[in-house]
Amino acid sequence: MNKAPFVIILALVALVIFLLLASLFSAGSSAGVKKGDWAKYYYFVDVYTDISNPKPPLGFDPNLNGSWFQFIVLSISGKDVSAEICLQFRNETKQTVTGEMNVETGNGTNFGWYLIRPGLRKFSKIYTDERFINYVIKDIILGNCNGTMRELVFLNLTTTEISSHYSGIIPYKVISMTTSTIALWDRETGVLINTCIVISAIVEETQQFYYSIIFYYDISESNLPIIPK
């Protein structure tokens, strides 16, 4: 019996099994960051309105405006990332908590959406949870980061629905609302580069006025080579 075809078949079967296992292990660990990775952001909030002596956003600490936010990855288990979250307020006081994030679903505590799954493609949702059903990647673009070109995930979303989350921070009765969100993440690591959220509302206070809030986060430092030039 000629053993050569049999050996070739065994080799091909072994190769297929290896590729399947590699695919499974790769899918099981989908966080693009590792323990010890960190990023620091500058954060500010602006309010624009034609109301005389307007009220500030509800639940908003003015010391947050012009503050710094930093996360440091503590541990990773599959798609779950645990991180130390440090806020340095404008008055130079600091607050440190632990945050958790599932980079696939977007669910977690004390974290926000500073991480997404790495390798997302155009038209992918940033997270699978139904809260983010409309948050679809618009494009993959190139950006100069630390002197090299990197792929960046670009989100540009505008909605005209009255969001219960965002309307809850507006200190007046909301008549209508438009929310625009622009964000960039590094595609390889899933780490946020910057984001700007603009909430434009028509509110009622004796008569109708406009009341707009702008939230802005911009990365300033990181151990990863993702800082825009």
pTM of this prediction?
A: 0.83
Locate all alpha helices (DSSP H) within the chain, ordered by sequence: 3-28, 164-167
**Alpha carbons within 13 A on the beta-carbon side of 54:** 19
Q: Is 13 inside a domain boundary?
A: no
The pLDDT of residue 66 is 80
Q: Is 79 inside a domain boundary?
A: yes
Q: Is 1 inside a domain boundary?
A: no
The pLDDT of residue 27 is 38
The pLDDT of residue 33 is 94
Q: Is 6 inside a domain boundary?
A: no
Q: Is 147 inside a domain boundary?
A: yes
Q: Is 2 inside a domain boundary?
A: no
Residue-range definition of the domain harbouring residue 36: 29-222
What sign for the dihedral angle of Cα 186, 192, 193, 197?
A: positive
The pLDDT of residue 92 is 81
Do 16 and 104 touch, CB atoms closer than 8 A? Answer: no
Q: Is 130 inside a domain boundary?
A: yes
Q: Is 208 inside a domain boundary?
A: yes
Query: Per residue of the chain (229 residues), what is the pLDDT tens digit?
Result: 555 554 455 454 444 444 433 333 333 346 899 999 999 999 989 999 999 999 999 987 777 788 899 999 999 999 999 999 998 888 888 999 999 999 999 999 988 889 999 999 999 999 999 989 999 999 999 999 999 999 999 999 999 999 888 889 999 999 999 999 999 999 999 999 999 999 999 999 889 999 999 999 999 999 999 999 8
- Give the alpha-carbon dihedral of 213, 219, 220, 225, to 10 degrees: -170
Q: Domain tally for the chain?
A: 1
Do 187 and 145 touch, CB atoms closer than 8 A? Answer: no
